[in-house]
Amino acid sequence: DAGVIQSPRHEVTEMGQEVTLRCKPISGHDYLFWYRQTMMRGLELLIYFNNNVPIDDSGMPEDRFSAKMPNASFSTLKIQPSEPRDSAVYFCASSLLGTGDTGELFFGEGSRLTVL
């Protein structure tokens, strides 16, 4: 397995544009997480899914952010409209029920977003 796959790896856009980040979890994993990493705040949980259903979205900053998981092998995180303060590295991670309590999340390589 290639692990968690994220795209794009880098995205540079202008303020006001829509941004869509994509994630393919490890096959068979039933939990999917979206995190945002910044220098000031470290890793923040945005939202997580279990069996494609959103469980906790309390970390989503505001209505400009939305996330979907239409099937077990694909998730998107969308920002519309984007703002400079959204510039960060966005990580997707997945885990398997039964290992969830052991805390082993498998992370993708991240999508570095720069909003000008």
Partner 1 sequence: AQRVTQPEKLLSVFKGAPVELKCNYSYSGSPELFWYVQYSRQRLQLLLRHISRESIKGFTADLNKGETSFHLKKPFAQEEDSAMYYCALISTGRRALTFGSGTRLQVQP
Residues interacting with partner 1, by CB under 8 A? 3, 31, 33, 35, 40-45, 48, 50, 55-56, 91, 93, 95, 100-105, 107-109
What residues does 56 pair with on adjacent strands? Answer: 48
Is the C-alpha dihedral spanning 47, 89, 68, 79 positive or negative? positive
Nearer to partner 1 by Cβ, of 29 and 82: the residue is 29
Minimum CB distance to partner 1, residue 27 (Å): 17
Rounded least distance, CB 23 to partner 1, Å: 13
Q: Identify any residues that bridge with 65 across adjacent strands, giving them in sequence order.
A: 79
Shortest CB 88 distance to partner 1, Å:
13
For the chain, helix, strand, coil in percent to 5 are 5, 55, 40
Q: How far is the CB of 110 from partner 1 (least distance, A)?
A: 8
Question: Of the two residues 65 and 91, which places its CB atom closer to partner 1 in the complex?
Answer: 91
- Rounded Cα distance between 82 and 64, Å, is 8
